[in-house]
């Protein structure tokens, strides 16, 4: 049987933190190259102070929470939030429709432990408004490490959002119809951090390890901006390099080409979400992506830990959709072209966030 050709490897566009923090610096070229209509929808920030230490401090806790006693993890689950707070394992489905036991996740809002005390809002938007759950008795250091990294990633994300706004407004469009990306993120109360732990191969019930989406299926983030760390691999509790050069993050380009995207472990990556693509009229690009598991002989007993911060509009944020969006069109948006972000969970098939490619 002929071996399938591997997708090409591409290094993400990088901006030095020293440049990012200068609010008046022209980063339009970098923003367009990485996040624009022909970019990969991802950009990395280099030399962020304290990030390498905070990354390792949190990621090293992922195996520990995954290996807590089952009765302890059960107490950390929150089914009323649709498992969007606390511990979640085997609750989501893979592309095949099977339950995903490849990875476990711990979710929390790194900024607000209690986003709201309004019972009506908690009932209406449980995925965003319910309080955090922390394993204070069994793993008290998790809360401290989770919040420290999450808040840093948000601060850097706000700096990136500022330059994204400057780029979009520089395209001759003038100001946004509603809040800018920076304002949307800064005002929101429902940012969500996700600490992920990918179990070693032999501990998973699934056997599909050949596909590029074998560890995490194809998806596009629905929020505004997603911060992402490079994965941390361990084997028998010892940190190791990635055991398979084919493993990692894959992105599908505008031209429908699949590429493997790499960045350094001390760099902080950001991806555009579909909400931002729509509101920027397509000038900022959200791309489908997935994660491939290691499958070489050296991959046995190897696990992976990583962290993502989903920066998204407030649940009550009124999203004003433009009448025309280059490259994509939104599906099932009502005739007023205005919708509260939180209502996406009450619409079929994630209607607000479904984008259809147009030529």
Write out the residue range of the structural domain in which residue 29 sits: 9-340
Q: Would you say residue 347 lies in a domain?
A: no
pLDDT at 300: 82
How far is residue 59's CA from residue 109's CA, in Å, rounded to a whole number? Answer: 17
pLDDT given for residue 175 in this prediction = 64
Residues (pLDDT < 70) of the chain are 1-4, 94-96, 173-178, 202-210, 213-215, 321-359
CA atoms within 13 A of residue 330's CA, in its CB half-sphere:
29
Q: What is the DSSP letter of 138?
A: T
* CATH number of the domain that residue 315 is part of: 2.60.120.330
Kind and range of the H or E element at 227? strand 225-228
* Residue 2: inside a domain: no
Between CA 39 and CA 115 the distance in angstroms is 34
Domain total in the chain: 1
How confident is the model at residue 340, as a pLDDT?
A: 52
For residue 356, is it within any domain?
no
Residue 351 lies in a domain: no
Check residue 75 and give its pLDDT: 96
- Residue-wise pLDDT for 266-317, tens only, equals 999 999 998 888 888 889 989 998 888 787 777 888 899 999 999 999 988 8
pLDDT for res 5: 79
Q: Does any domain span residue 319? A: yes
204 lies in some domain: yes
293 within a domain of the structure (yes/no): yes
Distances (CA, A) of 253 to 225, 233, 257, 259, 260: 18, 27, 5, 8, 11
Does any domain span residue 358? no
What digits encode the pLDDT tens for the residues 246-271?
Answer: 888 999 988 889 999 999 999 999 99
DSSP single-letter state for residue 299: G
Q: What is the value of pTM for the model shown?
A: 0.87
Q: What pLDDT, on a 0 to 100 scale, did the predictor assign at position 131?
A: 97
Which pLDDT tens digit goes with each residue over 119-137? 999 999 999 999 999 999 9
Distance, CA of 113 to CA of 66 (rounded, Å) = 22
The confidence score (pLDDT) of residue 23 equals 96
pLDDT at residue number 202: 60
């Amino acid at each position: 049987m002929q071996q399938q050709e591997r997708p090409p490897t591409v290094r993400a566009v990088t901006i030095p933190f020293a440049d990012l923090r200068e609010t008046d610096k022209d980063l339009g070229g970098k923003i367009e190259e990485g996040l624009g209509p022909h970019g990969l929808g991802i950009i990395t920030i280099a030399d962020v102070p304290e990030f390498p230490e905070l990354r390792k401090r949190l990621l090293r806790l992922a195996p520990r929470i995954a290996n807590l006693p089952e009765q302890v993890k059960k107490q950390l689950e929150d089914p009323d939030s649709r498992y969007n707070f606390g511990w979640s394992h085997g609750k989501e489905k893979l592309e095949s429709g099977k339950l995903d036991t490849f990875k476990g996740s711990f979710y929390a809002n790194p900024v607000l432990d209690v986003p709201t005390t309004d019972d009506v809002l908690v009932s209406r938007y449980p995925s965003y408004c319910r309080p955090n759950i922390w394993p204070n008795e069994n793993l008290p250091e998790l809360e401290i490490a989770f919040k420290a990294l999450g808040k840093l990633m948000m601060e850097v994300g706000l700096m990136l959002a500022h330059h994204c706004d400057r780029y979009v407004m520089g395209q001759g469009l003038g100001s946004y119809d509603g809040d800018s990306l920076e304002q949307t993120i800064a005002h929101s109360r429902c940012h969500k951090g996700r600490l992920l732990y990918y179990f070693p191969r032999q501990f998973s019930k699934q056997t599909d390890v050949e596909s590029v989406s074998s560890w995490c299926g194809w998806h596009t983030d629905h929020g505004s901006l997603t911060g992402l760390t490079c994965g941390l691999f361990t084997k028998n509790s010892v940190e190791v390099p990635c055991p398979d050069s084919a493993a990692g993050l894959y992105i599908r380009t505008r031209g429908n080409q699949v590429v493997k995207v790499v960045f350094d472990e001390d760099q902080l990556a950001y991806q555009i979400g579909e909400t931002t693509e729509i509101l920027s009229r397509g000038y900022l690009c959200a791309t489908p992506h997935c994660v491939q598991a290691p499958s070489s002989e050296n991959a046995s007993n190897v696990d992976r830990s990583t962290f993502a911060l989903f920066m998204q509009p407030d649940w009550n944020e009124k999203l004003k959709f433009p009448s025309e969006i280059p490259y994509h069109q939104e599906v099932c948006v009502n005739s007023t072209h205005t919708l509260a972000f939180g209502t996406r969970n009450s619409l079929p098939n994630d209607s607000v966030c479904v984008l259809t490619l147009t030529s």
